[in-house]
Amino acid sequence: MSSLEQQLQRLGQVLEYPPEPDVAPAVLVRLDRRPFPWRVVAVALAVLAVAVGAVFTVPQARTTILKWFHLRGVTVERVETLPPAVEPGQLGRPLSRDEAERAVGFELALPPGTKPGRVYVVDGALASVALREEGGPLLLSEYRAVDFALLKKSATAQTVIEPVLVNGEPGLWLEGGPHTLTYFNRRGEFRQRTVLIRGNVLLWTDGPLTLRLEGRLTKAQALDIARVIR
Amino acid sequence: MVDRPLDDAELVERAKRGDLRAWETIVRGYQGLAFRTAYLLSGSAADAEEAVQDGFVKAYRALGRFRRGSPLRPWLLRIVSNEARNRRRSAGRRDALALRVAAADRPGDAVPSPEAALLSGESRARLLGAVNGLSEEHRLTIACRYFLELSEEETAAALGVRRGTVKSRLARALARLREELDEEEGE
């Protein structure tokens, strides 16, 4: 190696780089949300079977909404077929906790002892943190509930939807088949995005916030975690 | 129980079977280098972070196409770098990232070796100025090969070019730097 090449290497050792972020929690949550292709195929076939069944049994009413569940800032609707949805991608813009709290305008509620390296923010309204629990990666999302529904979930009969209480406040537990999550932006403009969710989900309110916990959890495990989130 | 660290090949085999903990070990092992590479290529810390996150998600999904026994590092760098270059392109960013020397040198440099001392202060600033003055493709080739200390194969993967192209770009970039530094010295 020439002297110039050696000098370049030495220069490389003192160059300034931004602090290196830890992307592992977000990578794990995203991978856990979207299983291997063979499972996607299996789920797609199951969804197709339900859709085909619906077409043959109630052709006029295959998008009929069968029942609504409301929680502040969220609507959950029971439908016969899921709306078209894409696989979830990025969790949001990666920010430090301070930056994220400034962007969304509230302090994050977190399990005790959690120090998130990164908080993912969508549209200055919805903040998500990738958590690591014994069972695997979890995604905790929260936002300040507003007058209109910011999130809408659609679920077929394959998904159990059950009202629950978390620290005395109302919540909903969704378990079983895949369901979709539609996000509307803060100004209520028609800029929605519908993603397919396969994990179980607990939704609940805590003071001014509406929270959402997603992952491979049983109802009891989700409730245990939710109760200590402050 | 495993009482020794698993090597990349074992971790990849486990990850292929759906073991996310194995993949987490790989992510933590390579995310630093992946981030620095993506930062040089995209010119933005936020883009670099997203490129690294997307890159590791995509790489996991592409593990079925990873050839057993081939080196993991260039394969990962190729995927992450591709994400970083796409982000830079879609952001329409054309201005070159100006590399800077850290305000406080790393702790290891507290007692500089005689060699390192030779490359301090003025001469370091001159060399960095000359590198920043190179064309984009020459500057990035120098940055990958010498600043990040990637091999020629890894540099080719990061830049999305063939190894032969890396060799010729390096030769031309080094010649250009020598000219530049000689000219300055002669002034």
Asked whether B65 and B78 are in contact (CB, 8 A), the reply is no
For chain A, the C-alpha Rg in angstroms (whole number) is 21
Check whether residue B5 and residue B89 sit in a common domain.
yes
Check whether residue B70 and residue B9 sit in a common domain.
yes
Q: pLDDT digits over B45-99, tens only?
A: 999 999 999 999 999 999 999 998 899 999 999 999 999 999 888 877 766 677 8
pLDDT of residue B92: 75
Compute the mean pLDDT over every residue in chain B, rounded to the nearest whole number: 87
CATH of the domain at B137: 1.10.10.10
Which residues of B are less than 8 Å from A10 in CB distance?
115-116, 119
What does residue B51 show for φ and ψ, rounded to 5 degrees? -65, -40
Check whether residue B78 and residue B120 sit in a common domain.
no
B32 by Cβ neighbours in 10 Å (0-12 / 13-18 / 19+) ranks as middle
Asked whether A26 and A91 are in contact (CB, 8 A), the reply is yes
Nearest residue on chain A to B39, alpha-carbon basis = A17
What does residue A90 show for φ and ψ, rounded to 5 degrees? -55, 150
Check whether residue B23 and residue B88 sit in a common domain.
yes
Check whether residue B88 and residue B146 sit in a common domain.
no
Does residue B162 sit within a domain? yes
Q: What is the pTM of this model?
A: 0.79
Dihedral, B79, B83, B86, B91 alpha carbons, nearest 10: -160
pLDDT of residue A41: 42
Of the three residues B36, B64, B94, the one that is the final residue of a domain is B94
Which residues of A are less than 8 Å from B131 in CB distance?
8, 11
What is the ipTM for the molecules in this complex? 0.86
Domain of B18 in residue numbering reads as: 1-94
Q: pLDDT digits over A67-98, tens only?
A: 677 777 788 888 888 888 777 788 888 999 99
pLDDT of residue A129: 94
Cβ contacts of A187 within 8 Å, gap of 6 or more: none
Check whether residue B56 and residue B124 sit in a common domain.
no
Q: Average pLDDT of A92-121?
A: 92
CATH of the domain at B43: 1.10.1740.10
pLDDT of residue B4: 64
Q: Which residue has the tokens 């969220």?
A: A74
Q: Is B114 a residue whose pLDDT tops 60?
A: no
Number of domains chain B is built from: 2
What would the DSSP string read from start to end of A109-123?
A: P--TT---S-EEEET
Check whether residue B123 and residue B83 sit in a common domain.
no
Asked whether A51 and A159 are in contact (CB, 8 A), the reply is no
User: Secondary structure of chain A: what % helix, strand, coil (to 5)?
Assistant: 25, 35, 35
Q: How far is CA B74 from CA B50, B82, B158, in A?
A: 19, 12, 8
pLDDT of residue B104: 58
**Contact yes or no for A27 and B146 at CB 8 A:** no
pLDDT of residue A66: 54
Of the three residues B94, B128, B143, the one that is the final residue of a domain is B94
Check whether residue B69 and residue B121 sit in a common domain.
no
Check whether residue B122 and residue B51 sit in a common domain.
no
Q: Is A128 a residue whose pLDDT tops 90?
A: yes
Of the three residues B94, B125, B155, the one that is the final residue of a domain is B94
Distance from C-alpha of A215 to C-alpha of A173, rounded to nearest angstrom? 12
Q: Average pLDDT of B13-23?
A: 92
